[in-house]
């Protein structure tokens, strides 16, 4: 890496045959290579030394996301020649991902009103993992996930109240017809806060398919990352959540963090320091 750094600063990458053999693979990227404070950069992505490839790959895969999501995250932060096949190999060898990959819904999603801003509309669902009950909330605008070890309607109400205080009162909560969501106390709570509750269609159980996909995603995310008793307050899970919140959506190329804060949040993947700064407007 030191040799590559020197060659870039000296402008000596023009001829492949003049480069050391172990640097030949960088020749095709020569027009987009430069240095910042002694670090080699490709476009706006930090070049990762070979000794750190595995560490970065494990961080990229900490949320147990697919190849497309991992590539979206890498394309906004890190690079080395051969990173794409390396990411594909990590995903292919993950038994948890292969076992828990999301299935396609059997019916089309019920048309819903598109939200205009973050946390205007959310979808929520409960799921069981290793005998524990977890609540997942996902913002429909940004895909920002919230995971709580909340059981019953009391746990649901506490989590919703905390969400309202942190992100603002919702216009709409979408969920299935589970007992936690249809309990009288939940109905009264939502009515008091002025939140409309939209239930999935009974005829089309997949009408809330975004929530189902979110549940699948979180199941993969928390796999092997919770504590021995299912605790959520582990370093491994928080690293995975950070990774998920910073991963750009493959279609919009915008991450949940960018939607909420207008900038990425600092995690364990190196990026240039500039993007952390707020927009000059603020």
pLDDT score of 16? 86
Reported as a pLDDT band with limits 50, 70 and 90, residue 103 is low
When pLDDT is averaged across residues 15-31 and rounded to a whole number, the result is: 90
- Report helix angle 67-74 to 83-92, nearest 10: 150
Mean pLDDT rounded to a whole number for the chain: 86
Q: Does 109 have pLDDT greater than 80?
A: no
More confident residue, 163 or 234: 163
* pLDDT above 90 (res 108): no
Rounded mean pLDDT, 78-85: 95
| Ranges 107-116, 183-192, 247-256: which has the least confidence | 107-116
User: What pLDDT shows up at residue 182?
Assistant: 92
What pLDDT was estimated at residue 205? 46
Q: Which of 246, 212, 231, 216 is nearest to 59 (CA)?
A: 246
Cβ atoms of 125 and 179 within 8 Å: the answer is: no
Which of the pair, 25 or 217, is modelled with greater confidence?
25
Q: Which residue has better confidence, 209 or 23?
A: 23
The answer to whether the predicted template modeling score (pTM) of the entire model surpasses 0.85 is: no
Flag the least confident range among 80-84, 87-91, 228-232. 228-232
Please state, in angstroms and rounded to a whole number, the distance separating the CA atoms of residues 25 and 44: 19
pLDDT of residue 106: 45
Is the distance from CB of 4 to CB of 30 less than 8 angstroms? no
Residue 104 pLDDT exceeds 90: no
- Across the beta sheet with 132-139, the strand order is 145-148, 132-139, 121-129, 172-175, 196-199
**Comparison of pLDDT for 276 and 206, the residue scoring more:** 276
> What mean pLDDT comes out for the span 55-79?
91
Higher pLDDT among residues 184 and 227, named by residue: 184
Q: Where would I find the H helices in 22-82?
A: 53-60, 67-74
Say how far apart CA 255 and CA 266 lie, in whole Å: 13
pLDDT band at 229 (very low <50, low <70, confident <90, very high): confident
Amino acid 121: pLDDT: 93
Identify the sign of the CA torsion 77, 28, 89, 53. Answer: negative
């Amino acid at each position: 890496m030191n040799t590559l750094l020197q060659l870039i600063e000296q402008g000596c990458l023009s001829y492949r045959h003049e480069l050391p053999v172990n640097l030949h693979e960088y020749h095709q990227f020569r027009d987009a290579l430069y240095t910042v404070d002694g670090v080699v950069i490709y476009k706006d992505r930090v070049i990762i030394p070979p000794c750190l490839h595995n560490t970065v790959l494990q961080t990229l895969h900490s949320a147990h996301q697919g190849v497309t999501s991992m590539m979206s995250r890498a394309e906004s932060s890190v690079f080395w020649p051969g990173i794409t096949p390396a990411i594909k190999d990590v995903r292919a060898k993950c038994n948890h991902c292969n076992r828990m990959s999301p299935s396609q819904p059997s019916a089309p999603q019920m048309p819903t009103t598109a939200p205009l801003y973050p946390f205007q509309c959310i979808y929520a669902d409960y799921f069981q993992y290793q005998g524990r009950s977890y609540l997942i909330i996902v913002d429909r605008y940004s895909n920002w996930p919230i995971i709580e070890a909340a059981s019953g309607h009391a746990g649901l109400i506490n989590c919703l109240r905390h969400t309202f205080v942190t992100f603002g009162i919702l216009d709409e909560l979408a969920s299935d017809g589970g007992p936690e969501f249809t309990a009288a106390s939940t109905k009264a709570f939502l009515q008091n806060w002025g939140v409309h509750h939209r239930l999935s269609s009974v005829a089309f159980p997949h009408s809330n398919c975004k929530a189902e996909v979110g549940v699948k995603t979180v199941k993969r995310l928390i796999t092997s990352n919770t504590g021995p008793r299912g605790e959520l307050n582990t370093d491994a899970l928080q690293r995975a959540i950070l990774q998920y919140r910073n991963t750009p959506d493959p279609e919009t190329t915008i991450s949940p963090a960018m939607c909420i804060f207008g900038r990425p949040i600092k995690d364990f993947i190196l990026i240039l320091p500039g993007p952390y700064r707020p927009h000059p407007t603020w």
